[in-house]
Structure 1
Amino acid sequence: MLDDNLRASRQTAHDRPDLQISFEFFPPKTDVMEEKFWDTVHRLAPLKPRFVSVTYGAGGSTRERTLRMVRRIKAETGVDAAAHLTCVGASRAEVDDVVRGYREAGINRIVAVRGDPPEGVGKPFVPHPEGYRNAIELVEGIRRIGDFDISVSAYPERHPQSPDWNNEIDNLKRKIDAGATRALTQMFFSNSDYLRYLDRARAAGITAPIVPGIQPIHSFRQIASFAARCGTAIPGWLAERFDGLDNDPETHALVAAAVAAEQVTELVDEGVTEFHIYTHNRSPLALALGRILGRRHEVAAVDAA
């Protein structure tokens, strides 16, 4: 017979009904991309995520599209939707107007991030002369306007511009103390990085949920390139798994599914009950993770006659 510890370690995510998932999308830029976007949204909505979020382009470049997508998601699927908001390239008055627009549209969830400059990830951030200087001030500003559910960012491997871990964790604490509801982490591929980050945060008195951001690897080359720009490490074992698969999409997809499944099941075994999945507007791997986490599509019964 299995002993209790071994039996517990083999407990599946499906056996734990309290698991929560959310999905992240970005606003499509073309009609073809928009068609794919809505196909993905409608395929993932039946998994009943806690919410889905739509990102906000650098300098507010997708402000109107983000609001349009969020409103339509909520209207068509019934899934709660969150709009991203940054403080890049806009005055406080302009940002506050966007927040009021979200409120008037019935959007009560916001993902508040400082944001990257239009030049791209890793470039120096320069606040607008009349704008919010950072995510802490942004959260405070949102809270002054309304009772929003606010998510902020967290960095298990430390933000590239953060000088040390004390500063990193203090910045997270100040965002939570300013009124944030939860933190959503940057992608990571070593679960130990997330677990150490969680320990640091709890030791600092942060009790808000810190939800791991899971990045399914749709294209290893693209994800590795983005990881290099945002300071996320690609472990050697992960690179080896995808080595030589650039021109073998079927095997690439199978390996990607296995990697993502390993990551989330290990975190479930560590007691994690919430996951935020970066979809890149694609559904297959996100659907697979939803199933692994115990979510099922509602399938209509087939008439045997």
Structure 2
Amino acid sequence: MVNEIHRPAPASLQVAVADTLKWGTPGRVPFSVEFMPPRNDAAEQRLWSAAEAFHDLGASFVSVTYGAGGSSRERTERVASRLAVKPLTTLLHLTLVDHREEELRDILREFASLGLTNLLALRGDPPGDPMGDWTPVDGGLNFAHELIELVRSMPECVDFDIGIASFPEGHYRAGSLEDDTRYTLQKLQAGASYSITQMFFDVDHYLRLRDRLAAADPVHGAKPIIPGLMPITSLKSVRRQLELSGASLPTDIDELLTRAAAGDEVKNAAGIREAGIEVTSRMAERLIAEGAPDLHFMTMNNVRATQEVLHNLGMAPAWGPELGQDMVR
């Protein structure tokens, strides 16, 4: 049944995301993908098809986002529990938005009971306006490091492996890159074992983040930093990504996409997409050369764009019905 909760292996047998980064991989570097809880049955079937494809392609782990204020909590848990028995190493996002501390404890106990022991600990953005002012709910927590400390204080969560978000260009609320470095280290020092970055489009920002953290704390700052990539498939989508994330688009990429559009984004959609996939592929190539521990693709529950990038990296077959396949078969 679509709504059935699937029980994965006991928590002690759940593979930690941090461990997947240490293992060998058939590709040049491990890769992982982010899914969103589907909104309807058709979207859910599309998600399962994508999960099967990424499993076949050898994803090191998959992550599942968490809606503002727990709006997708039931779907997030159900999707994650089913993914975990495919089997796919599954990472659950959790935010502080609109949750009191006792509610967070209940959620964490539920995750533990389902054997879902990989957690991405996030403060989260204000619902309705991601760039708005942050106000914690009465009885709630204020910072992601407090969520990590809460997890580490709970006997039920002793097996949890915790990741955090990091920000190559600095979090927009941080007064400076130095402040952002201090806040990121605070989360790592509280018990997180790695970070996944917000999406970015300039690899230099990722490298400078890595340098800042390692220089400020040679122990905790040296923990793995997984770059978050969203393949560029349209000007509309990249503009929306920039608006939501606060990331910047380098001038050369902006100019390349603008030339591909040639004044008509609809007519030249295929050219824009081709240029965008090439940009993401070049970024990924450089990240591999610079020693990134994993490439984390934000997929919007689709396979094709990510598979095209992986193919350009020599890590997946080409996409296309004319090649006798629709995904990986």
Identify the range of structure 1 (157-166 vs 18-27) with the bigger mean alpha-carbon deviation.
18-27
Q: Tell me, yes or no, if the aligned pair for 2:233 and 2:274 is still in contact at 8 Å.
A: no
Q: Tell me, yes or no, if the aligned pair for 1:46 and 1:296 is still in contact at 8 Å.
A: no
Q: Tell me, yes or no, if the aligned pair for 2:225 and 2:292 is still in contact at 8 Å.
A: no
With a CA cutoff of 8 Å and minimum separation of 6, indicate the structure with the bigger relative contact order: 1
Q: Tell me, yes or no, if the aligned pair for 1:136 and 1:178 is still in contact at 8 Å.
A: yes
Distance 1:252 1:173, change over 3 A: same
Determine whether 1:158 maps to 2:170: yes
Q: Tell me, yes or no, if the aligned pair for 1:184 and 1:213 is still in contact at 8 Å.
A: yes
Q: In the alignment, what sits opposite 2:297?
A: 277
Unaligned segments of structure 2, at least 5 residues: 1-24, 318-329
Determine whether 1:120 maps to 2:129: yes
Give the Cα–Cα distance (whole angstroms) in 1 for the partners of residues 230 and 99 of structure 2: 29
Determine whether 1:220 maps to 2:240: no
Determine whether 1:257 maps to 2:277: yes
Give the Cα–Cα distance (whole angstroms) in 1 for the partners of residues 28 and 118 of structure 2: 21
Q: Tell me, yes or no, if the aligned pair for 2:101 and 2:140 is still in contact at 8 Å.
A: yes
For normalisation by structure 1, the TM-score amounts to: 0.88
Give the Cα–Cα distance (whole angstroms) in 1 for the partners of residues 27 and 316 of structure 2: 12
| Structure 1 residues 114-263: aligned runs within 5 Å | 114-145=123-154, 146=157, 147-205=159-217, 206-243=221-258, 244=261, 246-247=265-266, 248-263=268-283
Q: In the alignment, what sits opposite 2:103?
A: 94
Superposed displacement of residue 293, structure 1? 4.6
Q: In the alignment, what sits opposite 1:26?
A: 36
Name the SS for the 2:297 alignment partner. Answer: strand
Q: What do the CA deviations read for 1:53-106 (whole angstroms, capped 9, x no partner)?
A: 11001111101100000011112x211111110011010110111111011001
Distance 1:142 1:289, change over 3 A: farther
Identify the range of structure 1 (138-147 vs 51-60) with the bigger mean alpha-carbon deviation.
138-147
Q: What do the CA deviations read for 1:254-291 (whole angstroms, capped 9, x no partner)?
A: 21221111000011122223111111111012112333
Q: Tell me, yes or no, if the aligned pair for 1:74 and 1:80 is still in contact at 8 Å.
A: yes
For normalisation by structure 2, the TM-score amounts to: 0.81
Q: Tell me, yes or no, if the aligned pair for 1:24 and 1:276 is still in contact at 8 Å.
A: yes
What letter corresponds to residue 28 of structure 1 in structure 2? P
Give the Cα–Cα distance (whole angstroms) in 2 for the partners of residues 64 and 279 of structure 1: 21
Give the Cα–Cα distance (whole angstroms) in 2 for the partners of residues 273 and 112 of structure 1: 20
Give the Cα–Cα distance (whole angstroms) in 2 for the partners of residues 17 and 35 of structure 1: 27
What letter corresponds to residue 303 of structure 2 in structure 1? S
Give the Cα–Cα distance (whole angstroms) in 2 for the partners of residues 156 and 164 of structure 1: 12
Q: In the alignment, what sits opposite 1:79?
A: 88
Superposed displacement of residue 120, structure 1? 2.5
What letter corresponds to residue 254 of structure 1 in structure 2? E
What letter corresponds to residue 234 of structure 1 in structure 2? L
Q: In the alignment, what sits opposite 2:7?
A: none
Superposed displacement of residue 41, structure 1? 1.5
Identity of aligned residues (%): 32
Q: In the alignment, what sits opposite 1:41?
A: 51
Determine whether 1:59 maps to 2:78: no
Give the Cα–Cα distance (whole angstroms) in 2 for the partners of residues 210 and 148 of structure 1: 18
Superposed displacement of residue 197, structure 1? 1.1
Superposed displacement of residue 242, structure 1? 1.9
Superposed displacement of residue 204, structure 1? 0.8
Name the SS for the 1:141 alignment partner. Answer: helix
Distance 1:16 1:283, change over 3 A: closer
Give the Cα–Cα distance (whole angstroms) in 1 for the partners of residues 197 and 109 of structure 2: 26
What letter corresponds to residue 172 of structure 2 in structure 1? P
Name the SS for the 2:91 alignment partner. Answer: strand
Give the Cα–Cα distance (whole angstroms) in 2 for the partners of residues 202 and 292 of structure 1: 31
What letter corresponds to residue 220 of structure 1 in structure 2? L
Q: What count of residue pairs does the alignment treat as equivalent?
A: 282
What letter corresponds to residue 99 of structure 2 in structure 1? A
Give the RMSD, CA atoms, in angstroms: 1.8
Superposed displacement of residue 238, structure 1? 1.4
Name the SS for the 1:95 alignment partner. Answer: helix
